[in-house]
Amino acid sequence: MMNNWILLQADGMSGIMGQVFLFGSIILIMYFFMIRPQQKKQKDAKNFLESVKKGDNVVTIGGVHGKIYSLEDDTVLLELDKGLKIKVEKSAISPEFTKKANGIK
């Protein structure tokens, strides 16, 4: 009778360990396919925004094309045409659109 109880307990523990392994592997897969690429994309966008300088041609998230006339802390003055300038937030500059417009992949 005692041997059967030990065997039943061992079977239950292996089932729990299998479930823990399954959930752990799902979390690991989600990290490598979803979370990590998103973090890399955010890091690249941050580096891009920190590297923009006066004279760069950029595109905003709204699709406005312009040349950086001046930079302040969090804002950028874009020159759209001779004498036409607008002030936008630095975060409104799109790294993806800017790279496409400048022919960079």
pLDDT in tens, 30-78: 998 999 999 999 999 999 999 999 999 999 999 999 999 999 988 999 9
Mean pLDDT for all residues in the chain = 86
State the pTM of this model.
0.65
Give the span between the Cα atoms of 49 and 67, in whole angstroms. Answer: 14
Positions of E strands within the chain: 57-59, 65-71, 75-81, 84-89
At residue 77, φ and ψ (nearest 5 deg) are: -100, 115
- Residue 93, classed as helix, strand or coil, is strand
Residue 69 C-alpha from the chain's centroid: 27
- CATH architecture entry for 54-105: Roll (2.30)
pLDDT-based confidence at residue 9 (cuts at 50, 70, 90): low
